[in-house]
Amino acid sequence: MIEFRSVSYAFDDVPVLEDVSLSIDDGEFVLLAGANGSGKTTLLRHCNGLLTPDSGTVRVDGTPVEDDLIAARSSVGMVFQHPRDQFVSATVGADIAFGPENLGLERTEIDRRVDAALAAVNMTGREDDRIDALSGGEQSRVAIAGALAMEPTHLVLDEPFTGLDDPARRSVLERLASLAADGTGVLLATHDLRDVCELADRVIAMRDGRVVVDGPPANALGDLDGLEVRVPSG
Ligand SMILES: Nc1ncnc2c1ncn2[C@@H]1O[C@H](COP(=O)(O)OP(=O)(O)OP(=O)(O)O)[C@@H](O)[C@H]1O
């Protein structure tokens, strides 16, 4: 479980998170919504210790993140908004293999994970492609595959659909829902709520650094009015 208890954080004395309390259970698929600048990215960066709260605590599986950064970083997979920030290798296969290699896994296990991660993002057979020659959408899919190959207990994604066409987006979304069904806790920040609500177990919405909505999609959608997030119709 990822748990925030009364977390506050400021950039240069400007409050960005204020008294945030929430939890993401194992096996839950949670959508994080909110207008630009409401604090979503800042919140996500607390999940594996990239940022540390000014007050309050973030716990992963019961342990405060700052007490065991290595444990938090191996159990919380992160997919960032700008996939280029995440690549460490020149080719797709080498990049996805990098994390599992650092875990010291056997070659056959690394290859299995790379194959499974590529299949999950519909890029089977693209191991040898150069990352800098991929489209933005393909780069997003490789970034997601890199996180999946770590087989994390929790997966945190920040606007991962940039550049994805509808079929690719849908396929990644369904993969996230099936990971959650298999026990992974998934926290997905996105502005694009189309069909995410239908797959998510819960919606958390932020305004000005505070959690203002936290509930099942059927109840929460009406409460998103006025938060400058695009609410799906029909
Ligand atoms: N490194 C930083 N230094 C100073 N202020 C920052 C920094 N990063 C973010 N902020 C400010 O913190 C606030 C919240 O930003 P954050 O990126 O968390 O919001 P967001 O909800 O993820 O927005 P978006 O949907 O546009 O990605 C904004 O006012 C932003 O300007």
What's the CATH number where 18 sits?
Answer: 3.40.50.300
Nearest-CA residue for ligand 1 atom 13 is 37
What per-residue confidence (pLDDT) applies to 168?
Answer: 77
Which residue lies with its CA nearest to atom 18 of ligand 1? Answer: 39
What ligand 1 atom has the least distance to the C-alpha of 81? 27
- Residue 184 inside a domain? The answer is yes
- In the chain, the number of structural domains is 1
Ligand 1, closest atom to CA 45?
18
Host domain of residue 15: 2-87+154-224
The ligand 1 atom nearest the CA atom of 14 = 5
CA 56 to chain CA centroid, Å, is: 22
Q: Does residue 192 lie in a domain region? A: yes
> What is the rounded distance in angstroms from the CA atom of residue 173 to the CA atom of residue 197?
11
User: Does residue 7 form part of some domain?
Assistant: yes
Mean pLDDT computed over 73-96? 88
ipTM for this model: 0.96
User: Is 140 a domain residue?
Assistant: no
Q: For ligand 1, say whether the CB of 15 is within 6 Å of any of its atoms.
A: no
Residue whose pair of structure tokens reads 């709520």 in the numeric block: 193
26-83: per-residue pLDDT in tens? Answer: 999 999 998 889 999 999 999 999 999 999 999 999 999 999 998 898 899 999 877 7
Helix runs in the chain, H state only: 40-44, 69-75, 92-102, 107-120, 136-148, 166-181, 196-199, 217-220
CA of 59 from ligand 1 middle (Å) equals: 22
